Each structure stands twice: as C-alpha cells, then as structure tokens.
Amino acid sequence: MQGLMQPWPLTVDRILDHACRWHGEREIVTRSVAGPIVRTSYARLHDRAQRLSNALLGWGVQRGDRVGTLAWNTARHMEVWYASMGIGAVCHTLNPRLHPQQLAYIINHAEDRIIFADATFVPLLEALLAACPKVEHVVWMGDGAEPPATRIAGLSAYEPLLAAHAPASWGGFDENTAAGLCYTSGTTGEPKGVLYSHRSNFIHTFLTLQHDIIGLSARDVVLPIVPMFHANAWGLAFSAPAAGAKLVMPGARMDGAAIHELIETEGVTFSAAVPTVWQMLLQHLLATGGKLTTLKRVVIGGAACPENLIRGFHEHFGVEVVHGWGMTEMSPLGTVGAPTAELAQLPFEAQLPQRLKQGRVPLGVDLKLVDDAGQPVAHDGAAYGHLLARGAAVAAAYFRRDDAILDADGWFDTGDIATIDAHGYMQITDRAKDLIKSGGEWISSIEIENIAAGHPKAALAAVIGRPDPKWGERPLLLVQLKEGEMATADEMLAFLENRIAKWWTPDEVLFVTHIPLGPTGKIDKKALRVAYGAVAPA
C-alpha cells in the first residue's frame, strides 16, 4: 500500500518559486565585478532567470544539455543557475582557478554548448575556445549593451539577451533529472564530474537547513564567500532563497578589507568560506582595529580550521566559528561541528578540542570507518580508519566514467583517514595519500600543520613526508610567515613541543615566501612534494 499524498517533484526551480512568492522583496546585494554595489530581489531575480530560460530555449537548449558558467558569486550567476536548471538543462560551474589545460578538458568532457562568463574571464576563454569545438555560444555577463572587443566570434551581451525575451515556464520533469555538474579539482589524474540531480540538490537543501548544520532563517543575512564553482557554494544559493534570507554576494573581491566592508554595511549574520579567507579577514581586523557588529556565525570548511581562527574570532569578536567538512561528491556537506547539549554547557576552553574536529553528521548522511581489511573501526576517538560515506546527496558514479566508486554495500570511499568519538564527532586525521609513514607508524600531516599554523608569526603551514633511509619517511615543516615577521626553526619546533608525540617532530623547518594553494583553496601538497624533493617531477 502506498500513501495518498500529492505528487510534488523535488525540482530546484520550486526553491526560487517559493522565494519569489513568499520572500519576493528580500534583497540580493552584489558587489559587481565592475565594482559598484547592485541591489535586486528574489522576485526580480526570478523574473530575469525565467527570461534567460527563454533565451536558452531559443538557442535550442534541451533537457540534459550542459550550460557552463565562468563567474564569481553574483546575482547574475544565480540567474544563470536557475535559468538552466528550471528548463531541465544542466548548470556546469567551471572553476577558473584550474590550469587552462584542465579547464579545456572539462569543457570538452562535459560538452558544454553555452558558456556564460564574467568580464574577468573573457581573456581566459579567448585562449581556451580554439580547443573547445562543441561550445556554440559565449555570453558576456557585463553591464553594457555591447560586449568588449574580443577574438571570441559572436560574443553575446547578457542584458540585451534578457530584454529580448519573455519569461518561460519551469518544471514539468522528473526530480531525478540532472541539474548541476561540478568537477573535482583533479589532484590525482583527470578531474572527475559529479552530476547532481534536482532531487539530490533539494534534499541537500533540507539537510543544510537543519539547525545544527547551517540553519538559516528569514532573519539571516548570508554572505557566501565560498565560490559558486566550489560544490554549489556549499548549497547556499539554494538554502538562502529556501529560507528567505537576504543574500550578499561578494563578486570578485575576496580581500579582508572588502569582506569586512560588506559584513558591516549589509549587516551580515552568517558566512562561509575556506580557512585562508578567514585568516586574511582576521589579520585585517586585528591590524586595523575593525569590529564585527552583526556577524554571529561562520562555517569554515574546505581544509582543516586552525585553532587560532576559532579562538581569534571567539575572543576578539564573539563570533562562533563552526568547523565543517564535505566533498564535491557529497553535494558537499558531510559533517558540521555544532555543539551537543552537553558540550554547549562547558567553558570555551573545554569545548575547543571538539570544535577542532570536523563535526557530527546531519540527517541525510551516514558515515563509517573501516580498517585496511574493510572491518569496522571503533568509535572511540582514537582508532582511525578509512572514512566511507553514503546518503541521499552522495555520488553513485562519476559523469561519463565506467569505473565503480561504491562498494558492494553502497558506500563511497572518501579517501580520508579519520576517527569518530563516542559523541559522534568525526575528525579527519589526514588524506590517505598525505599520511607520513615513519618507522612503520603513521604521522598525521594535518595535525602538525594545524598546530604550526596557530603560531602567532605564521600565516600558513604545510607538512609533507620526505624519503628517509632509516625511517622510510620523515616530516618536513614548511612555514609562510606573516608579512614583516621573522622566526627561527627552534621557535617553531618549541611551539609544537608537548602538543604532538615527540617522534612526530619534523626533522627540518623551512621558511618559504609562498605556500601554493590549489584551485579550491587547499594547500597544494602535490606541488610541495615536487618542489621539496618528496617525489620526482612528472
């Protein structure tokens, strides 16, 4: 026997329909790529997105066709998202921080028919398009009626395209229809495409709206600093309109001064970004004496969050920093470190060890740990194992690849090594490929670099393993100091003392002018291994 409820497909166009009908005048504020602040609303964005849908239909875009974007976080980028998804096409967010050869590979592998590009990225497309024969149209997302002079043939301007079309109708397709495509950053091998469905995005939106996850409300003012090309801005372009929250889109400027200005002038209450962005903001605030008068909560993910960030925002500004973890393959949220009832009653110092962990699972996600033989690992906070995941918004396969990514029971191997404690808090101890094996025992590179990054003179820290004739591998600590600071190796090692096992202590400390970051804001360990002799160059 089945239930007697109305059929109501979970398609993401309904999210913006809801925002338009019930939160229509709630603002969306954008720092435009050209610079000025631009204001719109959910109702106006809904109308413009439906007009753009009609333009896409006029170009012959059909369900399942891929529509690419090379764009920052702006209201226009959101319009392209909903315009594409609303007619059953697939919105493919392209990461402009990838190597051009990787971008060309991704565009060709996805077979993007149309690409919408901010002015910043038109030169990049000029260099790429000769190698991308399937791209039929490129749309410049600037303000004017005429696109700039360019070698791109037939470049269209965004605003005249919208003005020439009436609103289209949305929906009318199955909730399992593909909605979005996002490629992994390709740190090992070619980038792999994760193809989200309308249903998975909708359920992920419900998942994020749980109070202990992101928990937005209509009273919130949300600043998504995490780019929309990083796993859907962690779902914020869906969850903010679903809740009716005001959106503040930062555009191309991610420096501490620009972010601080938006937070204060627009009354931001919630934000999300990778740790490097918040390090810049914290350093800017401490250097200038800046205040945070409205910001209440920040989710930091994409890489492990150093203690100095959690402590710094709490002690200086009363802002709660919540650790999060996820993957492109998980849409992306997997855990968030909101406190349990017991933890919330403890003093801040007693909470800190748990807050440094990646957090607990929301409804909609399941995790487990297994050893090398596939046997379960105890949830005691000490035993570590391979972290496996499954859920309603977890990938079952990669786009246009035949290799199986799930085990016989439907679990996806995240590639992370982790512990889970008795309270359900998961902690990533390392990526499987980044663990350092010394004398037959494992050393966590992440744990050392998190502590080292907390040194008051350190801007960034990274740890890699280098070959050692006696022990197999030994850790090397690389430190990028804050501007104007000087330090010694003994200083850094003394800071680690009594915080890690003595045999974990790095054999060498090198001070470097720059620690490279990958296209998603994480430390590029692959480049460091080549540069510092851990592996031979490819």
Which active-site residues does the annotation give? 184, 329, 437, 442
Q: Are 274 and 522 in contact (CB under 8 A)?
A: yes
Residue 139's nearest CA partner among 94, 54, 185, 80 is 80
Using CB atoms within 10 A of its CB, is residue 134 exposed (0-12), middle (13-18) or buried (19+)? exposed
Q: Is 190 in contact with 317 (CB distance < 8 Å)?
A: no
Q: What is the DSSP letter of 22?
A: H
Kind and range of the H or E element at 1?
none
Cα 537 to chain centroid, rounded: 28
- Reading the block at residue 532, the tokens are 């510092």
H-helix or E-strand spanning residue 164: none
Q: Give the CA angle between residues 117, 88, 165 to the nearest 5°.
A: 60
Q: Which helix (H) or strand (E) holds 408?
A: none
Residues pairing with 369 in the sheet: 387
Contacts (Cβ under 8 Å, ≥6 apart) of 151: 126
Q: How many CB atoms lie within 10 A of CB 528?
A: 19
| Residue 288 buriedness (CB in 10 A; 0-12 / 13-18 / 19+) | exposed
> Which three-class secondary structure state does DSSP give residue 179?
strand
